[in-house]
Structure 1
């Protein structure tokens, strides 16, 4: 799917940052200061291979009550059921608590609803099943429940104790039970952006402290937290960064049979595991089980101690992910054509189709958002007659959850945060919601005229001679990259493709580009740096193919090693016709 939007380059204003501490490379310090890391000690922590930043779990509102209730249930040998969501965050949260509790009690089980039959979050039928069939006394939710007001009252009615742990934005009314969520009102917890699994980990940490359990029980769980934190796209800052760094280290030496089996099936070497592998290769296989089958398979893979069982489940997840991809691509084609035919003039894309699989509408919404750079909601019929399920993705500056709240009367239910949402709506209300969201985008555009321009944040202008292997190696200290700690992009000006340049279009459709040997400002031949672009647009293809036409390039620097040869590469993000710039002073 080709991109259909304009871009705006935003250069960092380093003059507003103040004086640099002078402890590290100046570019590194500029990047950190622009992200709110301004003191030398904070920078040392951020760049450390052994970060220590974490917070006392008992600072989280409701934590003390939750721990007391759980310990009471353990002492009375009561049945505890962990109730999770059907995505990576929910599966890892359930697996984390199962792993943590098993040495203390075997009187535990878990429940994850089926996406198509039950939908997201708590439901009364499931609670009744947990009470009667599971013979449960206490339910602990993970990654869900913050909006389950009616379901909480029902749990009380049938004699089921309930603890809600969640990380989603609360609505106007909280469930009347013990709630552990850093985003709830009057919660003093200093970091609000944990994943659902991060909140579950803080619950385990609080129990570890109260029960004097060895800390190794916690460190053994960090691989799960890392996977959830990356896949749920929460900011890689503060203690999220601490947990992800240690979690990736643990995964590279993992003894967890489920991870070992999946890495083997996917041919991923342990030493290559990083944020990209977690987010784009490992995570989607877990999500596939929840999207088109049963998320319990993902939990079983994470907690099994039997290699043969792990291999069988890993192969099943690979099959489901392949199936998911085919369903997804078909749905993307359908929705893309609907946008072109019906909604191409809309500033908020609300696309509904009966031909979509409910399990992939979130992915489709994200792909449409990325292709057209407009907030997007994709809807398809739910199991209930006359009701549609929707999943939305937004752009920077348009807070999806906040914008939907005033229209809550149009929906059966909804939840989410700034960048994503899920909802149920009656078919007859879709048109009204579409009109409302269209008007809201136009209203926000009055204050933010560039709302629907994709912003590319440029860290600094760099000259070819400054782009060295040593500099790129120093940049690695900023990893892992992800939401809230994005890759820093640089600008190189007045690049020219000349007669001596080697231009190579690669891929089955020539969709990738490699340029070797180019010039800068018509003066200097650059032969030690390559320009690489994956998925180049037609506009960029034409621009880069004009002989001697100068252009400006935004890129991420990397070193590529192939058969013992190392080359510095500029991984191109965007390119534009050059404007007149002064020479280097």
Structure 2
């Protein structure tokens, strides 16, 4: 795929900033590139102090929600939690349940069946909660778009508290004026609702719940340390729900990761061990690609109960058995996802779908819970918004993943007359519609789109052109101040224009790692690893320099291959030796 390499060109007096912040000029430049312009912002970014978090009382409806819950606890009412089946739903439901029990509440947690019921609170959950004796139901990570089930709860005389973070639906008149639509709950807590003064709108569902728990713990004089203990769960939800790691989210994840590495929760510890992470410093990457997918697999292929039981496990043996079950579910999910991705790519590349700017693909014999993951893989491969559908009893059901220049939520709202169910945010959506409307949806999305060819070219943003001679262990330690990395706070991207390759080898059980020994124009040599498509790398080098030069490269002989790399430095520890190496992210040829 063609890429556009762009050097970040934000300006500041980096030397002066570095002196005042007690960091290197390189780090100062990176922080400015992250959009921070005021020194107090930069100090907060570097200190990552939990006391800098905003008060939950600033969130519209939060005080009323707290008071309704306190009343229910004081009256010994059974409190129902209606959560969802993904990471954010599971972890927010568990956290709120833990907190309510801690303050003396009686609690039962309900979640929908992904296949038969779909997203969010539904009439079955409402009725079960009512028949169990509950008269207060609290939603976690859902509810903002749940109109029918909440109406039903109110008909039964129940009190409904909605806690959510998803976009609020709206109707637009001919003049473009919007009327926002809220469910008929007693109180709605969502920082994205109209008129909410809360300064940070980017919390996940578990983050919103954390703010509610904080107020409840303050009222019941629960020690602050117990509140902070919940941050490991909120951190998993934040990363797995792909929230921007800025402002409060970065604080949550930074501190949550420290707790995860030494978790007190038997289930979390068992899952970390089962995934082979017990000797590692847990990072946001491990949440996003190892731990999070295991929790998601429960809601996708089995029931949320497995994940909730793991988090509530009381013995090491129970935790071990449940962790093994989750890991097996996730392994099965990975195999099924790969098959679905291959089918989708074949469908796109053997039809006129390849020319669409918005990909709309229907798959056969694919588990409906995997369509979101498959859509994400298509987005990564083609750098286009992608929606993937499968047949269900009532028509077709799908999930979409978007790119930065395309607000999927708003574009689908323009087609709401075709949809039977819909919810989401700018970067992702879930929807259902009649099968006969799918081709119309595809046509309309592509006719309406303002995406240009330029929008579809991936941009590689380079923080600093940095010669590898600058790299050492002290610099790597300083880079850790910028963690955790993820969406909204990406790893810095460094680049250098000319590397000769002294040796190339393919490593790994699956022959999927390319190890290079590279040397720059100043004579600094270093090992480099590339985890991308090795076949494509070789084809590119052969196209630019010829097969003979690539053959020499693999033999360790002098060759003409000269490439530019973007990279990130890491420390390689092997048999007691520590050496700096780089992980190659992108490559191209820059002619001298």
TM-score (norm 2): 0.91
Q: Show the counterpart of 1:513.
A: 514
Structure 2 distance, partners of 1:392, 1:98, is 31
Q: Show the counterpart of 2:165.
A: 167
Q: Would you say 1:153 and 2:151 are equivalent positions?
A: yes
CA deviation profile, 1:336-364 (whole Å, cap 9, x unmatched): 11111122122211000231101111111
The partner residue of 1:438 within 424, 441, 446 is 446
Q: Would you say 1:370 and 2:380 are equivalent positions?
A: yes
Structure 1 distance, partners of 2:239, 2:102, is 28
Structure 1 distance, partners of 2:463, 2:53, is 28
Is the Cα contact below 8 Å between 2:358 and 2:446 reproduced in 1? yes
Aligned partner of residue 525 in structure 1, secondary structure:
coil
Q: Show the counterpart of 2:401.
A: 393
The CA deviation at 1:537 is 4.8
The CA deviation at 1:256 is 0.8
Aligned partner of residue 415 in structure 1, secondary structure:
strand
Aligned partner of residue 152 in structure 1, secondary structure:
helix
Q: Show the counterpart of 2:548.
A: none
The CA deviation at 1:480 is 0.9
CA deviation profile, 1:140-160 (whole Å, cap 9, x unmatched): 000011111222211111122
Q: Show the counterpart of 1:75.
A: 74
Aligned partner of residue 121 in structure 1, secondary structure:
coil
Structure 1 distance, partners of 2:162, 2:327, is 32
CA deviation profile, 1:322-379 (whole Å, cap 9, x unmatched): 2111211111121111111122122211000231101111111111111111110000
Structure 1 pair 8/479, CA: closer, same or farther in 2 (3 Å)?
same
Q: Would you say 1:380 and 2:381 are equivalent positions?
A: no
The CA deviation at 1:25 is 1.2
Question: Matches of residues 112-511 of structure 1 in structure 2 within 5 Å?
Answer: 112-132=111-131, 134-172=132-170, 173-177=181-185, 178-269=187-278, 271-342=280-351, 343-382=353-392, 384-385=393-394, 387-441=395-449, 443-445=450-452, 449-497=453-501, 501-507=502-508, 510-511=511-512
Q: Show the counterpart of 2:59.
A: 60
Structure 2 distance, partners of 1:194, 1:328, is 28
Structure 1 pair 110/17, CA: closer, same or farther in 2 (3 Å)?
farther
Structure 2 distance, partners of 1:131, 1:144, is 19
The CA deviation at 1:519 is 3.9
Is the Cα contact below 8 Å between 1:256 and 1:305 reproduced in 2? no
Is the Cα contact below 8 Å between 1:146 and 1:175 reproduced in 2? yes
Mean alpha-carbon deviation: is it higher for 37-46 or for 241-250? 37-46
The CA deviation at 1:79 is 1.2
Structure 1 pair 45/369, CA: closer, same or farther in 2 (3 Å)?
same
CA deviation profile, 1:474-521 (whole Å, cap 9, x unmatched): 111111101111001011012223xxx11112346644311114342x
CA deviation profile, 1:158-182 (whole Å, cap 9, x unmatched): 1221110001111011112210011
Aligned partner of residue 118 in structure 1, secondary structure:
coil
Is the Cα contact below 8 Å between 2:14 and 2:28 reproduced in 1? no
Identify unmatched segments of 5+ residues in structure 1: 581-585
Identify unmatched segments of 5+ residues in structure 2: 171-180, 546-558
The CA deviation at 1:90 is 0.5
The CA deviation at 1:51 is 4.7
Aligned partner of residue 227 in structure 2, secondary structure:
helix
Aligned partner of residue 412 in structure 1, secondary structure:
strand
Aligned partner of residue 38 in structure 1, secondary structure:
coil
CA deviation profile, 1:350-409 (whole Å, cap 9, x unmatched): 000231101111111111111111110000122x33x11100011121111111111111
Mean alpha-carbon deviation: is it higher for 107-116 or for 304-313? 304-313
Aligned partner of residue 239 in structure 2, secondary structure:
helix
Q: Show the counterpart of 2:563.
A: 551
The CA deviation at 1:259 is 0.9
Structure 2 distance, partners of 1:109, 1:488, is 44
Aligned partner of residue 65 in structure 1, secondary structure:
helix
Q: What RMSD over aligned residues (CA atoms) do the two structures have, in Å?
A: 1.8
Structure 2 distance, partners of 1:129, 1:145, is 17
TM-score (norm 1): 0.92
CA deviation profile, 1:418-446 (whole Å, cap 9, x unmatched): 111101111011001101111233x232x
Is the Cα contact below 8 Å between 1:21 and 1:39 reproduced in 2? no
Question: Matches of residues 100-111 of structure 1 in structure 2 within 5 Å?
Answer: 100-105=99-104, 107-111=106-110
The CA deviation at 1:211 is 3.0
Mean alpha-carbon deviation: is it higher for 104-113 or for 477-486? 104-113
Q: Show the counterpart of 2:531.
A: 534
Q: Would you say 1:33 and 2:32 are equivalent positions?
A: yes
Mean alpha-carbon deviation: is it higher for 48-57 or for 449-458? 48-57
Is the Cα contact below 8 Å between 2:76 and 2:105 reproduced in 1? no
Structure 1 distance, partners of 2:536, 2:324, is 41
CA deviation profile, 1:541-583 (whole Å, cap 9, x unmatched): 2344643243221111112111122222221111111044xxx
The CA deviation at 1:65 is 1.0
Structure 1 pair 108/249, CA: closer, same or farther in 2 (3 Å)?
same
CA deviation profile, 1:72-127 (whole Å, cap 9, x unmatched): 11121111011111011110001101111113335210001110011001212221
Aligned partner of residue 120 in structure 2, secondary structure:
coil
Structure 1 distance, partners of 2:12, 2:435, is 50
Structure 2 distance, partners of 1:537, 1:270, is 29
Is the Cα contact below 8 Å between 1:143 and 1:165 reproduced in 2? yes
